[in-house]
Structure 1
Amino acid sequence: MKNTIAERIYDFLKDFPPFNTLETSQLMAICEQVKVGYYEVGDFIFKKDEIRHDVFYVVKDGAVGIFKDGDVLVDECDEGDIFGLNALTHNSNYSLSAKAIEESIVYALSSELLETYITGNVEADSFVKESFASNARNLIKGGDNGGQSSDIAVGRGQMDHLIYIQNVTIKKSPVTCQPHTPIRDAALTMTEKKVGSIIITAEDRPIGIITDKDLRTKIATGGFSISDVVTCIMSSPVITIAENISIAEAQITMLRNKITHLCITKDGSPDSELVGVLSEHDIVVSQTNNPSFLIKEVKRAESAMKLRDIRQKSHGLMRRYLDQHIPVRFVSKIISAINEAITQKIITLSLEEMADQPPTGFSWLSLGSQGRGEQLLLTDQDNALVFADVPPRDMESTKAYFLALARSVTEKLNTVGFDFCPAQMMASNPKWCLSLTQWKNQFHDWITKPDEDKIMHSTIFFDYEAVYGEANLVQQLSESILKSIDGYAIFLNFLALNAIKNPPPLGFFRQFLVESGGAHKDLFDIKARAMMPLVDAARLLIFSKGIIGPTNTIMRFEKLAELEPQNKDIYHGCIDAFKTLLRFRTVEGLNQNDSGRFIDLKSISKANRLKLKGCFGAVKDIQELIKVRFNLAQLM
């Protein structure tokens, strides 16, 4: 005899995650045991501090509000949304209340069924873990609703629930020698042990390293005698890491420090006992798709076309990492390192083509998303150039030189795949190729005489990263920005107004706000409506602390959480939301072969719509904080 009620429940659940990933027999077994509840407006499904039920809930019809402190609404669950998982997961009483805010029908699903049918299904289990993470900001606050994912899924303290990153196999018995050891003896030991490096230790702590390259470049060339002690040719200090290093973290560390070996110590610092060594070869063995070889190809490249091929390979590498569920933060660091290496090589090639050496010191700046280390997809290039001050008589010829260099660089970047900026925000534009003093004056004018255009320029040019040249020029720029802001603090209020101009992109009935006209009509602009409010908020708040760097949005929120522990829940929520949005945009861009900015909501699943919606609460929270902190009610 057919169970018609179970069949109706099946017809509903089969279209929603995680149930849409289950086999028919599994889902039907769940549906046969579902309890159906009817709730009028104001009825509680559960209350704060109530003993947990042995079920979790799915909204069939209507809407259920999740409340804290009695009547403070923190989220709404509508058709297909899951709630009540957090108490089950933590085996605790409810920390929030769930109450019908519309006439509602709610399905109650047994926790035993959750264990039996869902946790054994990789895709379903992943979604559930993301769901009970709830909108990550509410998990940290003790929330109980469901719907959003983040890269860390269940939060910073529960990373071990998901295996996103493969750990590198570390050599636990590194070959070592003492500081007074002759180079000859160290070389013989390396030959006998068949290793390419030897660590110099003092009291079991690493103080230096010698590699095969050192023997070739420093001994074979006659620079040092083999009778000299190892301290004469060792590289010091060494870069140390903790032993639970992942492939992604190890790659980033080596790329950033331009080295091929890492020393592993007990606590990750050079002041603790050496326990292992990790080489670039070890990483290659651990994972064949290693970005290190791309960096080497960049260094060997002799043309922009060759660099274009390498950038396309990094595109494939990025897709593989995302498919492997490597957290997007690590992916962005790796891709940013490759992009930076490509830019540096392009500048080197362009300098070699110039008839003369640079007339003075300079620094090449990446701006916007690349300056923040958040440019995963191929987008427009935004860059600038600052050169050291020269006497007035030399200004014209100096600027002409750097404009010619900048044109060569931007043309090569375009060949690689970074399109010319339509607004000409590039170093090849005379407006953005200036001396240090000219840049200082420009920034001071933007800060002390703000208007709409100057604020817009500030949000682009103040997110910069020096990728080539003299770092002291950039340090002086940063100091001048902070000095100008300190003398004209109302500039922060203008930045604050800009940071709240795009409110959370949901309409009255929780529908997405999409473009109303133009080429992108009916599409959702994930950059302008969801990501940039978080980027703008992080920049504003870190500036208000008298800090320019870091420029990366996630790192800015992490620093803010450190400086303001009373608001860490909000900042951590912004971090999780930004990671989700960055991953989502990147995946969409890869799938659509574009920038991923404009999304056809009809083409994405219910699960992905839930993920996006879950991020908007973080936008609302941070904008409310900004409104109060900068007293914007008086300015609006």
Structure 2
Amino acid sequence: MKTSSISLRVADFLKQHPPFEFFGLQDLVQLAGTGRVKFHEEGEHVFDEGEPRGRHFYVIQQGTVNLYSRSAKGGEELIDVRVEGDLLGIFWLMGEQPYRYTAITASDTLLYALPFEDFLPLAARYPAATRYLVDYFSEMSGPKGDHTDESSPGHEQGLWLQKSGPHHTFEPEDFLNCSPGESIKDVASKLSSHHQQAAIITDDKSYPLGIVTEADLCRRVATAEVSPDEPVELLMSSPVRTVSPDLNAGDLLLLMLRHRLRHLCVTQDGSPDSPVLGLISERELQMNYGRLPNALGRQILSAPDVRTLSRLRDRADQLLIEYLESEAHMGFLTDFVAEIDSLVLNRALVLAERHLIDRGLEKPDIDFCWLAMHSEGRKERLIRSSQRTALVYADPPMEISRYCRRWFLHLAEEVSHILVGCGFPFDTNGRLASNTEWCQPFTTWKAYYSRWIHEPIDSNIVSLTTLFDLRAVGGNPELADALRSHIRAEIKESPNFIPLLANDAMANLPPVTIFRDSVMDKAGILWSCIDTKMHALYPLVDVARVFALEYEQEDCTNTMERFERMAERLPEDRELFRAAAEAVSASLALQSLIGHRRGDNGQFIRPHELTKADQEHLKGVFRTIVRLLDYAAAHFKLKLD
């Protein structure tokens, strides 16, 4: 057979597999012509860990190759299984470093050996191939957006949320400022002539004092509530919300959503005690970056009934899917959904209170706090799931304690039913605020946590750990702060609690690898599905929680943020903690995108539902989890089997 025919056959095979599928056919035929074919019988070593890297890397044309790494306890540990179309013996951008694992054939195997010096510059010409290789060979690659083809359609739209650096450069003409003594009609005239929506009122140092908007003029001046001849300081809203100039668009959007604002004032250092640099409006963000949820947030807060509230929450999911598919930063996505759900909860509280008052009940003057637990407490609920909530209220005077209990139970029941109408079903185990056990005064909640911490085994602490991921989403957050302070104090008095939690965090081990249509665990058992919770999220969440509680970071509940804080707290292990944060991000993104597409919770995913790049990305997650569990076991001095 002619050499050109062999090259075409090899190129045809390579074209079926990434990253070669991204190459042009002519380039692929040329590359195939520089390679050679190698045959290995079952049990042969292709190369060994620590061996100097050769001139070639390999593509498996037929057969199976097992990858082993030397374990800390001696011997070799299976770390991956490679099959047809997989690559061997190359680590992207690792130069001349020796092989990092041993490759042994598990069956008779045919390999294509291709030269590095021809492949690497060729791959660099194809951004999609480069991106695939980064995912394929990194133990935990960075955010996918970092490697996006900048020439691809929609690139800018896909990256705006995670765009680094300032939103834009601010110049003096970018905003209108006025002095507090100017008349309202003069300020209105300036707004009209400068085509501005708002004006910043500043003092003689250019420090912001307040803001006046077109809406203020319509609502208060046009209705004759305030005379246009009055000084503008009588009309302005004060204090004004200020931000630093280095915030990206996603940060600005979340601030507007959280504080129900349409404008943000940019100052030199981000505080009200520095000169104004500019003004950012919701309309400007909308014009520059497309669909934004701010208007949706306002509609949620004015929803007249449950049906409207449910319809608005559905719209939020539509936005979320768009953001997921454009590979928006996971930190933004978790904050976005948490803010939307907080708005839904607070509107539900208003509707519920109105209903109770209409029924003749009187609202007691007692502070309360609605707590989110579990994934919602961690701001990691990207797919609507069961309510895991609690209600804590301030200890009432004895004479009204029974009435307060009645009121808050009725309130919790009303709110819980509204949330069911918005797509959040009741928790099947009854762990939600409408259950009498989870609607209690502050003293009772303190007693709960004291018992769980000091009697963890009798309390079955394994089933209660997610209740340590508590976050205030409605009412007075000071009650949640006080409860967290109590938890911190009790943990200090119980030195065995943290090691016990750490030991429990070792329970969920990730699979070794994914190959063909199966998932293989450490025992060599094959499974048909990837369990995104048990295999990825639970071990990451559990380990992050233990570190947060040990280092008194109980105010931080988000798993990614917990790992980022640990990266700052233990800088010598920064790389591992940041890899763990990326592992959480990748796992959440995969679960959420698959779940929204299928209309379920995304927990179980069959390998064939994933692209090859996604499979390799997920295998990187598994490897990171193994490293993290080994690190945690050593850190907490655990004796593992």
TM-score when scaled to structure 2? 0.84
5 Å-filtered alignment, 1:261-340, equals 261-265=263-267, 274-340=276-342
CA distance in 1, matches of 2:55, 2:218: 68
Pairing partner for 2:457 from 451, 456, 464: 451
Name 2:586's counterpart in structure 1.
Answer: 580
- Candidates 371, 391, 395, aligned match of 1:389: 395
Distance 1:108 1:380, change over 3 A: same
Query: Residue deviations 1:593-619, cap 9 Å, x none?
Result: 100011122433333222211101121
Displacement after TM superposition at 1:403 (Å) = 1.2
Per the TM alignment, residue 100 of structure 1 is displaced from its structure 2 partner at its CA by: 3.5
Aligned CA distance change for structure 1 residues 130 and 249 (closer, same or farther; 3 Å):
farther
Q: SS of the residue aligned with 1:434?
A: strand
Q: 2:344 aligns with which of 319, 342, 345?
A: 342
**1:193 — aligned with what?**
194
User: Secondary structure of the residue that 1:613 maps to in structure 2?
Assistant: helix
Q: Which residue of 1 aligns with 2:617?
A: 611
Residues 53-73 of structure 1 show CA distances to partners (whole Å, capped at 9, x for unaligned) of 897765666355678999999
Q: Does 1:554 align with 2:560?
A: yes
Matching residue of 2:152: none
- By how many angstroms is 1:228 displaced? 3.1
Shift of 1:381: 1.3
Matched-pair contact (CA < 8 Å) for 1:365–1:371: yes
CA shift in 2, pair 1:303/1:34, >3 Å: farther
CA separation in 2, counterparts of 1:451 and 1:38?
57
- Tell me, what secondary structure is at the counterpart of 1:354? helix
Q: Counterparts of 1:187 and 1:342 in 2: how far apart (Å)? A: 36
> Which residue number in structure 1 is paired with residue 45 of structure 2?
41
SS state at 1:87 partner: coil
Deviation at 1:548, TM superposition (A): 0.6
Q: What SS class does the counterpart of residue 464 from structure 2 fall into?
A: helix
Select which of 242, 245, 255 maps to 1:242.
Answer: 245
Whether 1:62 aligns to 2:65 is: yes
Cross-structure match for 2:29: 28
3-state DSSP class of the match of 2:114? Answer: strand
Alignment partner of 1:633: what SS? Answer: coil
Shift in Å, 1:165:
1.8
CA 357–195 in structure 1, closer or farther in 2 if over 3 Å, else same: farther
Q: Which residue number in structure 2 is paired with residue 165 of structure 1? A: 159
CA distance in 2, matches of 1:229, 1:30: 73
What is the CA–CA distance in structure 2 between the aligned matches of 1:126 and 1:477, rounded to whole Å? 46
Q: C-alpha distance in 2, partners of 1:269/1:4?
A: 70
Q: How far did 1:443 drift?
A: 0.7
Any residues of structure 2 matched to 1:132-531 within 5 Å, and which? 134-136=138-140, 150-151=143-144, 153=146, 164-166=158-160, 172=171, 173-177=173-177, 179-184=179-184, 185-201=186-202, 203-204=205-206, 206=208, 208-216=210-218, 222=225, 226-228=229-231, 230=233, 233-243=236-246, 245-246=248-249, 248-265=250-267, 274-355=276-357, 356-359=361-364, 360-451=366-457, 454-506=460-512, 512-513=519-520, 522-531=528-537
Asked if the contact 1:492–1:540 (Cα under 8 Å) also holds between the matched residues in 2, the reply is: yes
Q: CA 1:197/1:295 → structure 2, altered by over 3 Å: closer, same or farther?
A: same
Name the aligned partner's letter for residue 186 of structure 1: V
SS at match of 2:159: coil
In structure 2, do the counterparts of structure 1 residues 176 and 73 end up closer, same or farther at CA, with 3 Å as the change threshold? Answer: farther
For 1:301 and 1:338, locate their aligned partners in 2 and report how far apart those are by CA, in whole Å: 13
Question: Are the counterparts in 2 of residues 265 and 273 from structure 1 also a CA contact under 8 Å?
Answer: yes
On the 8 A contact 2:387/2:427 being kept in 1, the answer is yes
**2:596 maps to which residue?**
590
- Alignment CA distance shift 1:113-1:263 (3 Å): farther
CA shift, 1:94, in A, is 4.1
Q: CA deviation at 1:577?
A: 0.8
Are positions 1:13 and 2:11 aligned together? Answer: no
3-state SS of paired residue (1:554): helix
8 Å CA contact 1:514, 1:523 repeated in 2 = no
Is the deviation greater in 449-458 or in 533-542? 449-458
Contact 1:554 1:575 (C-alpha < 8 Å) held by counterparts: yes
Deviates more, 1:455-464 or 1:229-238: 229-238
SS in 2 for 1:404: helix
- Segment drifting more, 28-37 vs 348-357: 28-37
Match status 1:536 vs 2:555: no
| 8 A Cα contact 1:560 1:568, kept in partner | yes
Take 2:253 and 2:528, find their aligned partners in 1: how far apart are those partners?
Answer: 41
Letter in 1 for 2:577: Y
Alpha-carbon deviation of 1:8?
5.1
Note if contact 2:260-2:297 (Cα within 8 Å) is conserved in structure 1.
no
CA contact (8 A) 2:334 2:380 kept: yes
State the one-letter code of the partner of 1:165.
L
CA distance in structure 1 between the partners assigned to 2:629 and 2:279 by the alignment:
46
- The worse-fitting range, judged by mean Cα deviation, of 616-625 and 36-45 is 36-45
Task: Tell me if structure 2 keeps the 8 A contact 1:209–1:235.
Answer: yes
Q: 1:409 to 1:73 in 2, by over 3 A?
A: same
Contact 2:512 2:522 in 1 (8 A): no
Amino acid in the other structure paired with 1:192: S
| Pairs aligned (count) | 605
1:281 to partner: Cα distance = 0.8
3-state SS, counterpart of residue 17 of structure 1: coil
Alpha-carbon contact 1:318-1:331 (below 8 Å) kept: yes
CA shift in 2, pair 1:579/1:348, >3 Å: same
Q: Specify whether residues 454 and 284 from structure 1 end up closer, same or farther in structure 2 by C-alpha distance, changes over 3 A only.
A: same
Which of 308-317 and 99-108 deviates more?
A: 99-108
Over the matched positions of the two proteins, sequence identity in percent amounts to: 25
- Report whether the alignment pairs 1:126 with 2:128: no
Aligned-partner residue type, residue 177 of structure 1: N
**C-alpha distance 602-244 of structure 1, shift in aligned 2 (>3 A):** same
Question: Contact conserved, 2:432 with 2:438, CA < 8 A, in 1?
Answer: yes
Partner-residue secondary structure (3-state), 1:108:
strand
1:264–1:275: 8 Å Cα contact kept in structure 2? Answer: yes
Describe the shift of the 1:308–1:5 C-alpha distance in structure 2 as closer, same or farther (beyond 3 A).
same
Does structure 1 conserve the Cα–Cα contact (< 8 Å) formed by 2:383 and 2:592? Answer: yes
Shift of 1:199: 2.1
CA gap 1:404/1:567 in 2 versus in 1, 3 angstroms: same
Distance in 2 (CA, whole Å) between partners of 1:188 and 1:528 is 62
* Per-residue deviation, 1:514: 7.6
State the shift of 1:215 in Å. 3.9
Q: Comparing 193-202 with 97-106, which one deviates more in the overlay?
A: 97-106
Check conservation: 1:368, 1:382, Cα contact below 8 A. yes
Cα 1:362–1:397 change in 2 (3 A) is same
C-alpha deviation, 1:323, in angstroms: 1.6
Aligned to 1:565: 571
350-359 or 339-348, larger mean C-alpha shift? 350-359
State how far apart, in whole Å, the 1-side matches of 2:81 and 2:35 are. 19
